[in-house]
Amino acid sequence: MVRPGCLLATLALLLAGCTPQARVDGGDPERGRLLMAQYQCGSCHAAPDVPGVERPLGPSLHGFGRRSYIAGRVPNGPSTLARWLQDPPALVPGTVMPRLGVSALDARDMAAYLLSLE
């Protein structure tokens, strides 16, 4: 016999896989999108409504909010993504993603934008 608590816990785990990524508290996705252009993220990445090059060098950022990992190695979430945007080599030594001088406030809004991409 299945205990009700176990059934509810299993159901919660299954549903967790179907829900969107966490949102960034206080983050402004629209400002983040504009900052992506300001920091010239489109020079290497394709992202919705962010101007960029025709043939980007880095991975596409479309659907980024559904990704489990940043750079294939770091769990994706609001605080980790904001730290990544500020200092990628600190989280993944040897990454080709450079430090761009992104402030904490800008990183929060850029993370809000990226996590909104589903």
- Scanning the structure block, which residue is given the tokens 């966490």? 22
The pLDDT of residue 54? 83
**Residue 37 exposed, middle or buried by CB count within 10 Å (0-12, 13-18, 19+):** middle
Taking only the tens of pLDDT, the chain with its 118 residues reads 555 554 444 434 444 444 344 688 999 999 999 999 999 999 999 999 999 888 889 999 999 999 999 999 999 999 999 999 999 999 999 999 999 999 999 999 999 999 999 9
The pLDDT of residue 9? 46
Residue 3 lies in a domain: no
Global pTM exceeds 0.85: no
Residue 9 lies in a domain: no
The pLDDT of residue 3? 54
The pLDDT of residue 74? 97
Token pair recorded at residue 2:
């299945």
Q: How many domains would you assign to the chain?
A: 1
Residue 5 lies in a domain: no
Residue 112 lies in a domain: yes
Structural domain of residue 29, as residue ranges?
A: 22-116
Q: The CATH number of the domain where 76 resides is what?
A: 2.60.40.420
The pLDDT of residue 44? 95
**Residue 17 exposed, middle or buried by CB count within 10 Å (0-12, 13-18, 19+):** exposed
Residue 13 lies in a domain: no
